[in-house]
Amino acid sequence: MADGGALPGLQRIAGLVRSVRTPEFEGITFHEITSKSALNKVPAASHVPFRWTVNPYRGCSHACTYCLSGYAPISMADGSTIPLARVRPGDHVLGTRHEGQSRRLVRTRVLDHWRTSKPAFRVELDGGTSIVASGDHRFLTADGWKHVAPGGDDEPERPHLTTRDRLMGLRRSVVGAAVRPGAALAVSYVRAMDVELPMFDLTTGTGDFIAHGVVSHNCFARNTHTYLDLDAGADFDRQVIVKINVADVLRREVTRRTWAREHVAMGTNTDPYQRAEGRYRLMPGIIEALAGSGTPFSILTKGTLLRRDLPLLRRVAEDVPVGIGVSLALLDETLHRSVEPGTPTPKARLDLIRAVRAAGLPCTVLLAPILPGLTDSEEQLSALVAAVAEAGATGISHIPLHLRPGAREWYLGWLESTRPDLLPLYQRLYHGGSYSHQRYRDWLRARVEPHLRRHRLRADDEPADGTLDDRRRPLHGKRWGPRLTPEPAPAEPGQDALF
């Protein structure tokens, strides 16, 4: 049913059609909009090998909350700091309140605390502070509240951080101390990290809190979300914006004389085959628009809804290169429920690979991430490669776990609670940064390669470097296209033995 009263702030967005709730999607509200653009140009700073993507949906089961990574240090009222992930309702933290001409620290109570998942941005300050946050998060600057990043194509302009900004922060973390902008709090840069990370947020009595020593906005303290009006208890993770005209807009864009028919990668931000696609069926129109203009494209997904469009994909693959990728990192159902909750089961993804191959389409499988000590044994890798090969995969890439800031703290916290015996191994493997030690990558490559050769999943002329160069054999099995497997990090010299 249409719900004209849902999220009235959306009425201020040009192109809003209606807000809809349906019994088959209990708890989810769809906000249907008409979009002005469909092709999204990927910033050069993202360092990915493709320049264009299409996102028919904004949000999924987790979307559009102001949030920080779980490792963000929160200033508590007693002068201590603890990671944001460990803060709980009822705790007392430091917030701020205007007193005369100054903004000063005050004691405030945590009213709510929740987890979500968001594309991450890194904010670097001149003083060396590094902050991981969503693009929607707001920090207090000398010129007022500003978002980490600009809004999307269908959103009104909003204040966001630039290198001209200085954040408001602390000199002393005690009640009554003033907060001021400082030279060390000048923004050095803001960059997209090209990864979705677990993030957290708080509701406090003052509407803000102190994270990384700077004043951070509290998402649900007020009834506004910049341009969307929300009740304080609203579950914004369950609000999905749907670009109902995306196929028509895309068709106009890719038939312009200026369009160079560059590769378009889908599934690199949000999965285009999320649950909403079952209702709105936007992907067939998108596929037809791209193929009709001679534009090559690829789709990366974990979902099984892709099966619906396999006949269409098979047909258009006769005219343009089409790449399909499925990610699968493990077979153990118990471990899957622990480390990948909410994603399709390993069996479901193997069945998806079979369905793609039965349709006559190539299917690359990304064995990612391989978890040291958990999924890298000879038996596990042999079984995984064999299962993927049996399902009919035409190529395999394997990627060891990357522990970037934010993901690192969250994953190690999970490891500490489930497999504390593995912590010393991880400390050795990742003490040099986000990538595992070169020696481990070499060891893993040597362990995986024989299984790939056994199942003839790597051509003789391909480099035995543990990755597949997708410019030579991308998702669609031809020589053009993006590299989906990151370059391995350089070896760190002078490291001690790892094992």
What average pLDDT does the segment 375-397 reach?
95
Measured over the CA atoms of residue 435, residue 440, residue 442 and residue 447, the dihedral's sign is negative
The per-residue pLDDT for range 390-411, each reduced to its tens digit, is 999 999 988 898 886 556 766 7
CATH classification (class only), 296-499: alpha beta
Rounded Cα–Cα distance for residues 21 and 56 (Å) = 18
Sheet holding 29-33, edge to edge: 16-21, 29-33, 239-243, 57-58
Give residue 360's pLDDT band: very low, low, confident or very high (50, 70, 90): very high
Question: Torsions phi, psi of 147, nearest 5?
Answer: -70, 160
Whole-angstrom CA distances from 214 to 71, 123, 184, 448 are: 15, 12, 11, 45
Predicted local distance difference test score (pLDDT) of residue 203: 76
Q: Mean pLDDT lowest for which of 12-26, 104-118, 238-252?
A: 12-26
Predicted local distance difference test score (pLDDT) of residue 18: 84
Predicted local distance difference test score (pLDDT) of residue 292: 97
Q: Is 172 exposed, middle or buried (0-12, 13-18, 19+ CB in 10 A)?
A: exposed
Give residue 173's pLDDT band: very low, low, confident or very high (50, 70, 90): confident
* Residue in the block written with tokens 């949030």: 67
pLDDT at 92 over 80: yes
The per-residue pLDDT for range 317-355, each reduced to its tens digit, is 999 999 998 888 899 988 877 776 556 789 999 999 999
Rounded Cα–Cα distance for residues 423 and 415 (Å) = 7
Rounded Cα–Cα distance for residues 476 and 39 (Å) = 21
Rounded Cα–Cα distance for residues 58 and 29 (Å) = 12
Rounded Cα–Cα distance for residues 344 and 349 (Å) = 7
Closest CA to 114 of 60, 57, 68, 58: 68
Fold: same for 68-218 and 296-499: no
Record the tokens describing residue 357, joined without a space.
């191959």
* Residue with the larger pLDDT of the pair 167 and 411: 167
The per-residue pLDDT for range 94-150, each reduced to its tens digit, is 999 878 778 899 998 887 777 777 788 999 999 888 899 988 888 999 988 898 998
Give residue 183's pLDDT band: very low, low, confident or very high (50, 70, 90): confident
Predicted local distance difference test score (pLDDT) of residue 194: 81
Indicate the average pLDDT of the chain.
Answer: 78
pLDDT at 294 over 60: yes
User: Cβ distance 83 to 70 under 8 Å?
Assistant: yes
Predicted local distance difference test score (pLDDT) of residue 222: 26
The model's pTM is: 0.56
Rounded Cα–Cα distance for residues 342 and 348 (Å) = 13
- The residues spanned by each domain of the chain are 68-218, 296-499
Record the tokens describing residue 490, joined without a space.
């350089």
Residue 303 falls in which region: left (phi positive, over 0), alpha (psi -120 to 50) or beta: beta
* Residue with the larger pLDDT of the pair 224 and 489: 489
* Residue with the larger pLDDT of the pair 458 and 187: 187
pLDDT at 158 over 50: yes
**What would the 3-class secondary structure string for the chain be?**
CECCCCCHHHHHCCCEEEEEECHHHCCCEEEEECCCCCEEECCHHHCCCCCEEECCEECCCCCCCCCEECCCEEEECCCCEEEHHHCCCCCEEEEEEEECCEEEEEEEEEEEEEEEEEEEEEEEECCCCEEEEECCCEEEECCEEEECCCCCCCCCCCCECCCCCEEEEECCCCCCCEEEEEEEEEEEEEEEEEEEEEEEEEEECCCEEEECCEEEECCCCCCEECCEECCCCCCHHHEEEEECCHHHHHHHHHCCCCCCCCCEEECCCCCCCCCHHHHHCCHHHHHHHHHHCCCCEEEEECCCHHHHHHHHHHHHCCCCCEEEEEECCCCCHHHHHHHCCCCCCHHHHHHHHHHHHHCCCCCEEEEEEECCCCCCCHHHHHHHHHHHHHHCCCEEEEEECCCCCCHHHHHHHHHHHHCHHHHHHHHHHHCCCCCCCHHHHHHHHHHHHHHHHHCCCCCCCCCCCCCCCCCCCCCCCCCCCCCCCCCCCCCCCCCCCCC
Predicted local distance difference test score (pLDDT) of residue 5: 45
The per-residue pLDDT for range 415-472, each reduced to its tens digit, is 887 888 999 999 899 887 778 999 999 999 999 999 999 998 863 334 333 333 332 3
pLDDT at 279 over 60: yes
Predicted local distance difference test score (pLDDT) of residue 199: 80
Share of the chain above pLDDT 90, in %: 38
Correct CATH for 68-218 of 3.40.50.450, 2.170.16.10, 2.60.120.10, 2.60.40.10? 2.170.16.10
What average pLDDT does the segment 32-55 reach?
79
Record the tokens describing residue 354, joined without a space.
């079979």
Rounded Cα–Cα distance for residues 34 and 49 (Å) = 29
Predicted local distance difference test score (pLDDT) of residue 472: 30
- Bond into 181 cis (ω within 30): no
Q: Mean pLDDT lowest for which of 17-26, 74-83, 425-434?
A: 17-26
What average pLDDT does the segment 22-49 reach?
74
Predicted local distance difference test score (pLDDT) of residue 343: 65
Q: Mean pLDDT lowest for which of 15-19, 21-25, 255-259, 397-401?
A: 21-25
